[in-house]
Amino acid sequence: MLKYLHPTNDTNSLRDFTFTDADAFVNYGKSRSINIHGHALVWHSGYQVPDFVKNWSSTGATSDQFLAMLDTHIITIVNHFKEKTNVVSWDVVNEALTDSNPSVFRTDSPFHIQSGNSSVYIEHAFKAARQASADVDLYYNDYNIEQNGAKMNALDAMLTDFQKRSVPLTGVGFQMHVCLNTPSLATIAAALKRVAAKRLKVKLSELGITIYKPSCDSFPTNKVSSFPQAAGLAQMKRYCEIITAYLDSIPAAQSGGSTVLGTTDANSSLDSAYASEFEGQILACPLLFDAQYKEKPLITGFADALSGRAFTNAP
């Protein structure tokens, strides 16, 4: 979002921000009484980061000036959408932890580097977002934390520290890019409960249950060229079980809801992420509609869980 809403910083004013496309999306939601979750105010991924952030220190500007700019960036964006009333939550910082063991803050993030090689930008971001809006929910969002391992341990430590120092983080988004068989439901539930125990909100923010993916189950020995019915039924069951585990693990008052990582398998980011391994085939198949935009069986599993019904094993 940074690159698209705040592409330049020549004047440090509203002229550096562009809201036209985002306004159209949010206004569309408002016209249909749909609330919006904003994603993401701070994300290190290269294609999301404008050149002025990457080149900050090379211009002679200081880390203190960078943090001041970051405050302006966040306050301006959150304040702009606060006026529309239907943007009710934000992913303030996205994917700031590594997958190493032990997990640590990403030192290769431009935000870490330009903040004086420090993770202080994370708390700066949350404080600025709260300054802009007293009511909006503020999330930290990441992947692989549902595995309840080293990354979850690092997140747990960050949350404990933030709560001790009254940094205004109010929720955690679990991206939940998972496989048909792993991680186990018990592992997922344990991770969800660790966050819930801190009285924070919990969101399934980018749910996508992958049929075939490197690191998933027995891939590549199970690689196929089309979507088999048996896999569709297994995916339906898995969706039902994960949504049920979420509802069972999170008190209603702390539920931030569930969203999926897109709509159709025709343009899933999980397929593009593993294009070389997939040899150009669409194999991840993680979403609600197939590559022909047809409804998949998993929608029944999703609906069963949300309705409190037992898994039906029928599309």
Catalytic residue among 206, 277, 279, 295: 206
123 is catalytic: no
Q: Please spell the DSSP secondary structure of the chain, one letter per residue.
A: -HHHH----SSSSGGG---HHHHHHHHHHHHTT--EEEEEEEE--GGGS-HHHHTTGGGT--HHHHHHHHHHHHHHHHHHHHTTS-EEEEEEEE--B-SSSS--B-TTSHHHHHTTS-THHHHHHHHHHHHH-SSSEEEEEESSGGG-SHHHHHHHHHHHHHHHTT----EEEE--EEESS-S-HHHHHHHHHHHHTTT-EEEEEEEEEESS-TTSTTTTTT--SS--HHHHHHHHHHHHHHHHHHHHHS-GGGEEEEEES-SBGGG-HHHHHTHHHHTT------SSB-TTSPBPTHHHHHHHHHTTPPP----
Q: What are 91's strand-pairing partners? A: 39, 139
CA 288 to chain centre: 18
Catalytic residue (choose from 83, 95, 123, 241): 95
95 is known as an active-site residue: yes
Q: Which two tokens stand for residue 294?
A: 């047809």
Chain position carrying tokens 């910083």: 9
SS3 track for 181-247: CCCCHHHHHHHHHHHHCCCCEEEEEEEEEECCCCCCCCCCCCCCCCCCHHHHHHHHHHHHHHHHHHH
Q: Tell me the catalytic residues.
A: 95, 206
